[in-house]
Amino acid sequence: MKRFVAFLLVAAGMLLSRAASAQQVSSDTPPAKPAIQYVEGRGMVFRSPDNLFEASLGFNLQVRFSDFDFDQTGTTPDAAEFRVRRFKLFLSGFALDPRLTWRFQAAFESTAANRYLDDAWLNWKFSDAISVQGGQYKTPFSRDELYNDGVIQFPERALATDSFKPSRDIGVMLAGNFLKNQFAYQAGVFGGEGQNTVRPSEHVMPMLRLVWNPIGEMGQGEPDVQNHKDPALSFGAAGFHNTLKKTSDTDFDALPLNYAGSAGWLGRGAKLFTMGEEISIQSGGLEGQFKWRGLSVQGEYYVGQALGKDSRVELFSYGFYGQAGYFVLPCKLDVATRYSFVDYNRNTTSDSVSIVSAVTNYYFRRHSLKLTFDYSRTHRQRGIVGPANDQSFIIQAQLFP
């Protein structure tokens, strides 16, 4: 009997010891990430059990009401409209290796048949100093343009940005940063034709962007939603070269490029060049941004120069914007103002446009859910007809989970 009791005591001790060891191992091992979880800014994140594949599914939906009051000297009637300004569905993640990332984004608000696909790219990260990205995505030009639609401060980007940016194109790019992100670079070669377009041409569009972050981490977006306790400051410069051909009285062979479209600095000057000739284009920009304790300041300066290879006609354009905002209620309610100006042709005195805007945003849950009120006044020079002054008021709701 005594031997049996002793055996039971030894067995119980061994079981308790094993249980304690198992508990210790369990406490030392980090808990596994759930297979499905919500991550703000990315949406729903799905992971395979072997951690070889990850995909996040998210979207950005912006609905708005706009009221337009056009100058009486103009020909466009006043109007009011309800509109789905943006509805973008995106997927992103990694495959086989966390260093191999990918992204797909489609835009459903556009009525153009060839504009549904926004992004489709692969990226391999060798180290912080170098990664290689190929596919279709935003070209590295303009800080205002490179920020996601969901994290900009105004309902629309600045007039100068829209007039000079190439926006999306197909190509390959090297990117990286040094000294804990104090210096960063993006260097790429693109087709030069624009979004969802491939042209059989001997020309390509090389582009380079350099960024210096002397103090602080800028964080995501234009307003200081993070309420930086320490100041953050960033400067940058970018430039590119491209060659386009004039294909009609008003068009080039790269309509998807913003600066070559009807509202771009080059597109507005298309009539200056000879039909069928090639146009050599150089464009550059300087940028800066500052954030601290709810205050945000940002600005950019752009230049563009085009030269007709046959006509030798030269077009020079420049533009800029500056904006400043402040959180009246930290992380909840901000107010901001912006001035943007574009001189589409420096050799004339009657084609410049400027816009003054004022905006207030209420952030229910940061950028994931916010309400925007925007007022803008546009001043357009029109030669002997006289200037026109247009006004607009926008109310916009955004869901960007």
Q: What pLDDT does 78 receive?
A: 82
Least confident of 15-24, 123-132, 235-244, 257-266: 15-24
DSSP structure string for 206-275: EEEEEEEEEES---SSSS-TT--SS-EEEEEEEEEEEEEEB-SSS-BS-TTSGGGSTTSTTGGGGGGSPT
Give yes or no for residue 3 having a pLDDT over 70: no
Please report, rounded to a whole number, the percentage of residues in the chain having pLDDT higher than 70. 88
10 Å Cβ neighbour count for 276? Answer: 10
Give the residue with greater pLDDT, 282 vs 7.
282
Q: CA 240 to CA 298: how far, in whole Å?
A: 22
Least confident of 171-175, 200-204, 293-297, 385-389: 385-389
Interval 131-146 mean pLDDT: 97
The predicted-structure confidence for 205-249, as pLDDT tens digits, reads as follows: 999 999 999 999 898 899 999 999 999 999 999 999 999 999 888
Q: What pLDDT does 348 receive?
A: 86
Q: How confident is the model at residue 2 (pLDDT cuts 50, 70, 90)?
A: very low
Interval 363-380 mean pLDDT: 95
Q: Please answer whether residues 45 and 39 qualify as being in contact, where contact means their C-beta atoms are separated by less than 8 angstroms.
A: yes
Q: How confident is the model at residue 161 (pLDDT cuts 50, 70, 90)?
A: very high
- DSSP label of 197: -
Interval 178-201 mean pLDDT: 90
Q: CA 102 to CA 39: how far, in whole Å?
A: 17
Give yes or no for residue 19 having a pLDDT over 60: no
Q: What pLDDT does 111 receive?
A: 62
Give yes or no for residue 143 having a pLDDT over 70: yes
Give yes or no for residue 17 having a pLDDT over 60: no
Least confident of 36-45, 152-161, 171-180, 289-298: 36-45
Q: Please answer whether residues 84 and 109 qualify as being in contact, where contact means their C-beta atoms are separated by less than 8 angstroms.
A: yes
Give yes or no for residue 252 having a pLDDT over 60: yes
Q: How confident is the model at residue 175 (pLDDT cuts 50, 70, 90)?
A: very high
The predicted-structure confidence for 44-94, as pLDDT tens digits, reads as follows: 999 999 899 999 999 999 999 999 988 766 567 788 999 999 999 999 999
Q: CA 188 to CA 140: how far, in whole Å?
A: 8
